[in-house]
Structure 1
Amino acid sequence: MSHPTGVDLGSPIRTATVRELDPLAADPALSALREQNARADVPALAAALRGLVPALDAVGAYSAERCAAAMRDLGLFLGSIKRHGPEPLSLVPELRPVLLELGRRTDLVPRDTVHHYCTWNPVGERQRMYTGDAQEARLQESVRLVFPHLRAGIELAATLSDTAPDDAQFRRSAEELTAHVERIVTAIDLVVAHVTPEFFALGLRPYFEEITVGDRVLMGPAAAQVPLWLIDQALWASDHSEPAYAEFVRDSVPYALPRWRDLYARWSRVPSVVSRLVEAFGDNPDDAARRMPALRANSEALARLLRVIVVFRGRHLALARKAYDADLRRYPVGSGGGSTDLLRQILDLTRTAARLTTRPADSGAGRT
């Protein structure tokens, strides 16, 4: 694991390398895409996309980074065409085997994700955007700020999941993870400050619609693909979730990086961190705390961590309510399939998990 400097954790794909690459020589086409979107010029978008489709044997020689960069650039056209109505592959059917091969080579879904749109996107003059609006750039920047801390946080959640609740390392890992989640809160504050609900709901959200690739319907880049839900899974959600949230997470897992999909599978089979802490306290928390001096401090550290996640969830809910207000929204749910009601449920579940760390005797509450 590395310090959050932009180096990928949990992925063999090197972010800095992907950002530099232009395997399809797409820079000019992507510069023109913004104006084509402004005109809703579907024929021009389809023609430009058709001109970028690489030969399948060429894709077979790409590195993982070149595959990611190619998917990133093709994806901007996929989202743009769908925003204006047609299914992209109905207009450019020769792209289908290329998308499938790019997905296979990177072990990701065969379309672009939030990683392509934000993390693997160049910065500066070559930045790929649907609209070119400064607010779109700010949203992409906020996600770029989140991912290094999320990656580091997921690895710390893995450490917590493997650490005994009475081990001194437990508190240190929880405190480090808290610091990373606090930076994620800072990133959502940037969105609130610089991206209006009107711009997101009307100007940007339409570009994140799902498309059909072969026999699969695939979501576009979405907040659900920024997997704070994976940290939830380790900390409490593996055994204190509710069916709606559990289904939402299962639907989001295919869009995660391979390492993260593996962690989700592992954490779905074991007790959560909260449950193991509650079990350590047993029926007599005071006696347990005397026998295991680190247990109380560890519990307090975990409670602080969950309270910071509650802060993030609360701000995300407030932001989503504004963006999906009845006077603005064109869609009933987010691009990742979640509703504001679901966000409210996740917030309540996180609060319940935080209370369990301070009231261990209530260990049965909320358990699925």
Structure 2
Amino acid sequence: MTRTLEIELGSSIRTAVIRELDPLAADALCFDMRRHNEHADVPALVAAVRGLVPSLDEVAGYSLEACVAAMRDLGMFLGSIKRHGPEPVPLVPEVQPVLLELGRRTDMVPRDTVHHYTTWNPTGGRQRMYTGDIQEAYLQESVRMVFPHLREGLELAERLSGSDVADPKFAVLTDELTAHVETMVSSIDMVVANVSPEFFARDLRAYFEEITVDGRVLLGPAAAQVPLWLIDQAIWASDNSEPEYEQFLRDSVPYSLPRWRELYDHWTGIPSVVTRLVEAYGDDPDGAERRMPGLRPSAEALSRLLRVIIVFRGRHLGIARKAYDADLRLYPVGSGGASVDLLRQIVDLTRTTAQLTRRPAGSAAARAERRPA
């Protein structure tokens, strides 16, 4: 698949089209789903899925956007069934070939993701929700509001990954990226203000459990699929990470949009932006700054970016600690597979990297000493 596919799916125009579509005529059933979930009515949920599943011939006539909308609605019901206990696909086996074909057509995993649950979800009276609780709506909006900024931010990160760290434009681009990342801080503040840890842990988390499709275990919609980690990969994590975080990224990549998977593959094979900055300073930082006056502004801009990321990650860690407290949680890890310990490790790694941008001078040995053990 090519970048064109991702642009079609991820652009604001395509997103608006997807939100409007209802190819399965599921509006009323999706609203009824809230009541079925409240009463744990698995037979009603199963009957709804059976009534919604299109034939493969019908899917063949769908537009790309209709395929996304169909996956969105089928996925909501499958997640609802799993929340109440049973593995959903064996109860409605005719859904499996449809999921596989929808995944093939969209070049995504054959189930719904956080994109379907938030960005491609209608707003207003047609909004698909598991519970109907206003707290769920706030959680969906908190993710929906950041995706346009992340799309822009990832394209800026691509430009940075290919830019000379001493170029005066480098700091300008980095500050533009920082402005987009700051929306994630606003997003997490919205969650803190409007979504209680108890609601997420006790009422909502169970709807994001994994399901099995064609023998493949697939994670449910998860905050981990919001790719701030991909900005990490470009800026510092491609060569300054640790095995547990690296594995988490590999596990998260399949749930991304096609364009973002391409970026991950590219950034994984090249030095990170922070590494290139450190190497530019070399063993004579004062001399490097005299030769390349743009270095200091670049280092300061990267430091500002990493401070914003640290603020977001710190607040996210605080929420996770409450939601996954032993006395409250129903699950030991997040729906994306990340534990609280991993989140803490990522915060520590980001702080260590920020130190490199504040004190990028020194030999390669000195840089190695600053790396996390």
Q: Is the pair's TM-score, using the shorter chain for normalization, greater than 0.5?
A: yes
Determine the structure 2 residue equivalent to 1:250: 250
Q: Is the 8 A contact 2:59 2:98 kept in 1?
A: yes
Normalised TM-score (structure 1): 0.97
Q: Is the 8 A contact 1:281 1:289 kept in 2?
A: yes
Which residue type is aligned with residue 103 of structure 2? G
| Other structure's SS at 1:128 match | coil
* Cα RMSD for the two superposed structures: 1.2
Q: Cα distance, 1:123 vs. partner?
A: 0.2
Q: Cα distance, 1:10 vs. partner?
A: 4.7
Of 8, 14, 17, 1:12 maps to 8
Deviation track 1:157-187 (CA, whole Å, cap 9, x = no partner) reads 1111010110111101110011111111001
Q: Is the 8 A contact 1:108 1:255 kept in 2?
A: yes
| Other structure's SS at 2:145 match | helix
Determine the structure 1 residue equivalent to 2:47: 47
Q: Cα distance, 1:367 vs. partner?
A: 7.1
Q: Cα distance, 1:139 vs. partner?
A: 0.3
- The 5 Å alignment of 1:179-218 reads 179-218=179-218
Q: Cα distance, 1:65 vs. partner?
A: 0.5
Normalised TM-score (structure 2): 0.95
Q: Cα distance, 1:9 vs. partner?
A: 11
Q: Is the 8 A contact 1:177 1:305 kept in 2?
A: yes
Deviation track 1:247-291 (CA, whole Å, cap 9, x = no partner) reads 000000000000000000000000000000000011101100000
Q: Is the 8 A contact 2:103 2:109 kept in 1?
A: yes
Determine the structure 2 residue equivalent to 1:161: 161
Q: Cα distance, 1:366 vs. partner?
A: 2.1
Determine the structure 1 residue equivalent to 2:83: 83
Determine the structure 2 residue equivalent to 1:347: 347
Matched, 1:363 2:359: no
- The 5 Å alignment of 1:258-277 reads 258-277=258-277
Alpha-carbon distance between aligned partners in 1 of 2:6 and 2:49, rounded to the nearest angstrom = 31
| Other structure's SS at 1:73 match | helix
Alpha-carbon distance between aligned partners in 2 of 1:242 and 1:296, rounded to the nearest angstrom = 28
Alpha-carbon distance between aligned partners in 1 of 2:5 and 2:155, rounded to the nearest angstrom = 8
Q: Cα distance, 1:61 vs. partner?
A: 1.6
- The 5 Å alignment of 1:82-101 reads 82-101=82-101
- The 5 Å alignment of 1:289-304 reads 289-304=289-304
Q: Cα distance, 1:76 vs. partner?
A: 0.6
Alpha-carbon distance between aligned partners in 1 of 2:121 and 2:91, rounded to the nearest angstrom = 25
Q: Is the 8 A contact 1:71 1:102 kept in 2?
A: yes
Q: Cα distance, 1:64 vs. partner?
A: 1.1
Determine the structure 2 residue equivalent to 1:220: 220
Q: Is the 8 A contact 2:82 2:211 kept in 1?
A: yes
Which residue type is aligned with residue 110 of structure 2? P
Q: Cα distance, 1:62 vs. partner?
A: 1.1
Alpha-carbon distance between aligned partners in 2 of 1:186 and 1:37, rounded to the nearest angstrom = 31
Q: Is the 8 A contact 1:254 1:261 kept in 2?
A: yes
Determine the structure 1 residue equivalent to 2:73: 73
Alpha-carbon distance between aligned partners in 2 of 1:71 and 1:304, rounded to the nearest angstrom = 39
- The 5 Å alignment of 1:282-321 reads 282-321=282-321
Q: Is the 8 A contact 1:281 1:288 kept in 2?
A: yes
Q: Cα distance, 1:216 vs. partner?
A: 0.5
Deviation track 1:38-68 (CA, whole Å, cap 9, x = no partner) reads 0000000000010000010111121110000
| Other structure's SS at 2:146 match | helix
Alpha-carbon distance between aligned partners in 1 of 2:122 and 2:276, rounded to the nearest angstrom = 42
Which residue type is aligned with residue 363 of structure 1? R
Which residue type is aligned with residue 92 of structure 1? V
Q: List alignment gaps of at least 5 residues for structure 1.
A: 1-7
| Other structure's SS at 2:212 match | strand
Q: Is the 8 A contact 1:239 1:367 kept in 2?
A: no
| Other structure's SS at 2:7 match | coil
Which residue type is aligned with residue 157 of structure 2? A
Which residue type is aligned with residue 74 of structure 1? L
Distance 1:103 1:240, change over 3 A: same
Alpha-carbon distance between aligned partners in 2 of 1:341 and 1:349, rounded to the nearest angstrom = 12
Alpha-carbon distance between aligned partners in 1 of 2:125 and 2:354, rounded to the nearest angstrom = 44
Alpha-carbon distance between aligned partners in 2 of 1:22 and 1:182, rounded to the nearest angstrom = 33
Alpha-carbon distance between aligned partners in 2 of 1:343 and 1:190, rounded to the nearest angstrom = 20
Q: Is the 8 A contact 1:11 1:258 kept in 2?
A: no
- The size of the alignment, in residue pairs, is 361
Q: Cα distance, 1:100 vs. partner?
A: 0.2
Which residue type is aligned with residue 126 of structure 1? R
Which residue type is aligned with residue 78 of structure 1? L
Alpha-carbon distance between aligned partners in 1 of 2:168 and 2:227, rounded to the nearest angstrom = 27
Deviation track 1:209-243 (CA, whole Å, cap 9, x = no partner) reads 00000021000000110010000000000000000
Alpha-carbon distance between aligned partners in 2 of 1:203 and 1:50, rounded to the nearest angstrom = 26
Q: Cα distance, 1:11 vs. partner?
A: 3.1
Q: Cα distance, 1:348 vs. partner?
A: 0.4
